[in-house]
Amino acid sequence: MPEEEDLSPNLVTEGVKQSHGEFIPPEGLCWVSVMSCLLLACSYVGSLYVWRSDLPRDHPTVIKRRFTSVLIVSGLSPLFVWAWRDFTGVRTGPSLLALMGIRFEGLIPAIILPLLLTMVLFLGPLMQLAMDCPWSFIDGIRVAFDPWFWMLCFSDMRWLRNQVVAPLTEELVFRACMLPMLVPCAGPSVAIFTCPLFFGVAHFHHVIELLRFRQGTLSGIFLSAVFQFSYTAVFGAYTAFIFIRTGHLIGPVLCHSFCNYMGFPAISAALDHPNRLTILSSYLLGVVLFLLFLLPFTDPYYYVLPTPVCTLTSSRSFLCLS
């Protein structure tokens, strides 16, 4: 008598087989997934250059035009996931929006814990910023609750790009849409390190503008591009980790916005700071606490098990376990 077919949502397609509890992707799934991600990345970056202009990227006119194009591409990006799922025959229990991290279950922890974890990592830069800030703590609180301050921020195109549009659209495209396509093929662990490659390469387009406006030497621009690729790839792996562990888009978006605000830690300035011992100790303490809290703060238990993207694989990855 033939065995009954398992129709659980963890089985990704009808062609998927299980061997000793390990996930075996159907033939051709990886190629389709990688090509879909590549097409999505090219669409996002390409949308930035549909406008012909001799103005630099920080000009308000250029920023507004690029807002239009990336918002259109980002709005259409879920169609890539839908088309990928329809073409490959992937069967999912959660809805498409849930797979992309748009859901209400565990929303409050997803807003607070990943951002708090990232702030712990930046304890040194935050300490340095607090020491150099001319405002008192009370003044800072007043500014934070001042509506005129926020009106000024939202009227600044560069602030709006760096703190709102870029984090939202990049995390939607490069995490929320790509990870559901990569996890069934590569598994959660490999997907965390594969997904950021698309994100890092996508930032190479800045080289075009640096060369175009001759902002530095050729070797300097190349080194800057390599550094930016490395930094964005590492950051992309971190936000991919958060996305898979929490199953939410909001956490990576907030962390992305915070990191854009903080920038890369000014370690050289910390070494020359009058209070460098305190600041460097804060740097070290932040890294140690970050490593200690990394798994507890992203425990899937707080975000309702199993997280949607983890239902796309039957491999037992620690990333999906509480």
Pairing of strands 17-19, 22-24: antiparallel
Which contacts qualify for 50-59: CB closer than 8 Å, 24 or more apart? 56/209, 56/213, 57/206, 57/209, 58/158
**Scanning the structure block, which residue is given the tokens 């890294």?**
287
Q: What is the spatial distance between Cα 124 and Cα 68, in angstroms, rounded to a whole number?
A: 37
Which amino acid is located at 55 in the chain? Answer: L
Pick the catalytic residue from 170, 171, 248, 256: 170
Q: Is 248 a catalytic residue?
A: no
- Determine what percent of the chain falls in helix, strand and coil, rounding each to the nearest 5: 70, 0, 30
DSSP state of 315: S
Q: Which helix (H) or strand (E) holds 293?
A: helix 276-297
180's tokens = 């559901």
Q: Which helix (H) or strand (E) holds 18?
A: strand 17-19
**Scanning the structure block, which residue is given the tokens 């929303």?**
107
Which amino acid is located at 263 in the chain? Answer: G
> Are 186 and 30 within 8 A, CB to CB?
yes
Pick the catalytic residue from 59, 203, 206, 273: 203
CA 314 to chain CA centroid, nearest Å: 24
Contacts of 142 (CB under 8 A, 6+ apart): none
Q: Is 14 a catalytic residue?
A: no
What positions carry a catalytic annotation?
170, 203
